[in-house]
Amino acid sequence: MLDQKLDQILDMTAKVQARQDEIGKKEAEKDLAIKQLTDQITSLAQEKQDEKIKTDSDKKALEDSIKSIEAEIKRTGLGNNSSKKENSVVYKFKSEFANYARKAGKTIDEALINEYHSTIVDSFAEHASVESREVLIKVLSVDSNPDGGYLVFPEKNPNVQNIREFETSPMRSVATVITTIAESYEEVIDDDESESGGWVSEREERKDTGTPQFGKLVFATHEQYAQPLVTQKMLDDSSINIESYLSGKTNDIVTRTENTAFVSGNGAGKPKGFLSYEAWAANGSYERGKLEQIKSGTNGAYVADTIKTLQNSLKGRYQAKAVFMGKRDDWGRIILLKDGQGNYLLDPRSFKNGDTLTLLGKPFVFADDMQASVVSGSPVTGALSLSYGDFNAGYIIVDRFGLRVLRDPYTSKPYVKFYTTKRVGGGVKNFEAIKNYKLSA
């Protein structure tokens, strides 16, 4: 009985050992499989890394080739003597490519691509070495859409660059500016004086003296407008914000238009500019509704002595905030005035680097709407090309509304109108605070 039990135990032990051996074998097989998979992944990663290195190397080689071609083009002057046919092909291709880059769904004619490719290579070949020509042909393969041209895009600035400056007259920076809620703005003024007055003895009769009279100035507001229009498709598909662009352009032209009126407007449906007021009958003799004019003493020319007379004609009350105003070109003429010994007659501080533009110690404001002293190379006799005064005390700008824009997509389909309006008035409010300089004898 004991032997039978012992045999059973030994048999069971043998089975357990066999099972353990089987499990150990499977674990070994699993470890081997994991190792093989790891080796495969490592190998694949190494291949990808090698491919990336090769790609980066090819990319660098391509960039170096392009730089080499650009240097060769600059050295040989390619394009300076291009034929009309070459210019035509290049122009057509650039126009087509610009449309392609800007608008989705746009394609470039394959024949034009091939013609452009051929034109560029042929033009370059007469100047370049064989090696450079071969590199050029390889690089220009990006101009073939199926060979990768579809993947090449120029870098484009999303904003329109303003490369031209339009000069104006910054009247709002020197004049008084107010906002009104009415159609016009009025001021009651006192510019009269008593006709008589004097001394009397203790018992002497007191006679009536003259009584000053009030005056009234009325500054009406006038409307200016702009109405650019653009198609709805352009608004939808343009690569820039057309509405924002038009808003900036419209604001610029409206500002320049009103500045012109503040200087030279005739007051008919627009502000009245300070150059449009008639002259006092005699210098030093005040007249309401007119401005004093100081003559230069020479037809069509500036004279240093009379420029000083112009400055001195302004009363002391206004001198603290007074400025000169004239065209930039005329500033250049004034600062070149010299005496018989070649010495500059006017403020030497104007020549210091970084100094504010000053004339006889006062700021000089560039106003492009002032009358020109020279036209087509000839001096203009009688031009009002320079003014001096306290414009804050002397001129008023009256705003009724700011810039308002009405977007109208209905009345002129498929166009969208941007109806823009502004109401503003202006005129002289103090007739002794501004002096005009007239280029005449």
pLDDT 10s digits, 268-312: 999 999 999 999 999 999 999 999 999 999 999 999 899 999 999
Q: What is the DSSP string of 88-100?
A: HHHHHHHHHHHHH
143 or 422, greater pLDDT: 422
Question: Greater confidence, 8 or 137?
Answer: 8
Distance separating alpha carbons of residues 342 and 58, to the nearest angstrom: 68
User: Using CA atoms, how far apart are residues 416 and 410, in angstroms rounded to an integer?
Assistant: 7
Claim to verify: residue 113 and residue 180 sit in the same structural domain: no
Higher pLDDT, 391 or 346: 391
Give the integer Cα–Cα distance in Å for 425 and 177: 10
Q: pLDDT > 70: what percent of the chain?
A: 63
Q: What is the pLDDT of residue 76?
A: 44
Residues 308 and 416 in one domain: yes
> Helix, strand or coil for residue 127?
coil
The least confident of 199-208, 254-263, 362-371, 412-421 is 199-208
Q: Please tell me which residue, 246 or 140, carries the higher pLDDT value.
A: 246
How far CA 159 is from CA of 245, 272, 301, in Å, comes to: 9, 37, 45
Same domain? For 332 and 366 the reply is yes
Q: Identify the pLDDT of residue 78.
A: 44
Q: Is residue 51 part of a domain?
A: no
Largest CA-CA distance found in the chain, in angstroms, rounded: 170
State how many domains the chain has: 2
> Region 394-412: what's the mean pLDDT?
91
> Where residue 145 falls among pLDDT bands split at 50, 70, 90?
low
| pLDDT higher than threshold 90 for residue 365 | yes
Bridge-partner residues for 418, per DSSP? 407
Query: Are 117 and 265 contained in the same domain?
Result: no
- Residue 286 sits in a domain whose CATH number is 3.90.1690
pLDDT at 45: 64
Q: CA angle 154-240-256, nearest 5°?
A: 125
- Domain assignment present for 297: yes
| Residue 120 and residue 223 in one domain | no
Instruction: Retrieve residue 281's tokens.
Output: 């009958």
Mean predicted confidence (pLDDT) in 152-161 = 57
Residues 175 and 129 in one domain: no
Look at 97-111, 175-189, 241-255 and tell me which has the smallest mean pLDDT: 97-111
Higher pLDDT among residues 322 and 344, named by residue: 322
Is 407 contained in some domain? Answer: yes
The answer to whether residues 373 and 439 touch, using CB atoms and an 8 Å cutoff, is yes
**Is 126 domain-assigned?**
yes
Closest CA to 224 of 250, 243, 192: 250
pLDDT at 218: 93
Report residue 289 as tokens: 């509704």
Structure-block tokens of residue 188: 């009651």
Distance set, CA 269 to CA 272, 291, 371, 424 (Å): 9, 21, 21, 10
Does residue 162 sit in helix, strand or coil?
A: coil
Q: What's the whole-number mean pLDDT along residues 167-177?
A: 91
CA-based nearest residue to 170, from 258, 271, 269? 258
Inside any domain, residue 164:
no
**What pLDDT score was predicted for residue 155?**
56
In a domain, 37, yes or no: no
- Has residue 288 been placed in a domain? yes
What is the pLDDT at residue 385? 96
User: Which contacts of 176-182 are long-range, i.e. CB under 8 A and separated by 24 or more positions?
Assistant: 176/392, 176/393, 176/395, 176/396, 176/397, 176/429, 177/396, 177/397, 177/399, 178/396, 178/397, 178/398, 178/399, 179/398, 179/399, 179/400, 180/221, 180/398, 180/399, 180/400, 182/400
- Flag whether pLDDT at 438 surpasses 80: yes
> Does 70 have pLDDT greater than 60?
no
Alpha-carbon distance 111 to 394, whole Å?
Answer: 69
**431 and 318 within one domain:** yes
**253 and 390 in one domain?**
yes
- Judgement on whether residues 403 and 303 belong to the same structural domain of the protein: yes
Is residue 386 located within the same domain as residue 275? yes
Over residues 372-383, mean pLDDT: 94
The whole domain housing 374 covers 171-193+213-438
Place of tokens 């046919």: 85
Residue among 287, 273, 309 at smallest CA distance from 384? 273
- What is the model's pLDDT at position 236? 85
Question: Does the predicted TM-score (pTM) go above 0.75?
Answer: no
pLDDT category, 63, cuts 50, 70, 90? low
Whether residues 104 and 222 share a domain: the answer is: no
* 129, 154, 179 - which closes a domain: 154
pLDDT over 80 (residue 228): yes
Inter-residue contact 249 to 258 (CB < 8 Å): no
CA-atom Rg of the chain in angstroms: 42
Regarding whether 117 and 178 lie in a shared domain, the answer is no
The residue behind tokens 């449009």 is 276
Residue 31 lies in a domain: no
What pLDDT sits at residue 48? 65
User: Does residue 100 carry a pLDDT above 90?
Assistant: no
Residue 411 has pLDDT above 60, yes or no: yes
Task: Write out the H or E segment, with its range, that includes residue 42.
Answer: helix 2-76
pLDDT(105) > 60: no
| pLDDT at 11 exceeding the cut of 90 | no
Please state, rounded to an integer, the average pLDDT across all residues of the chain. 78
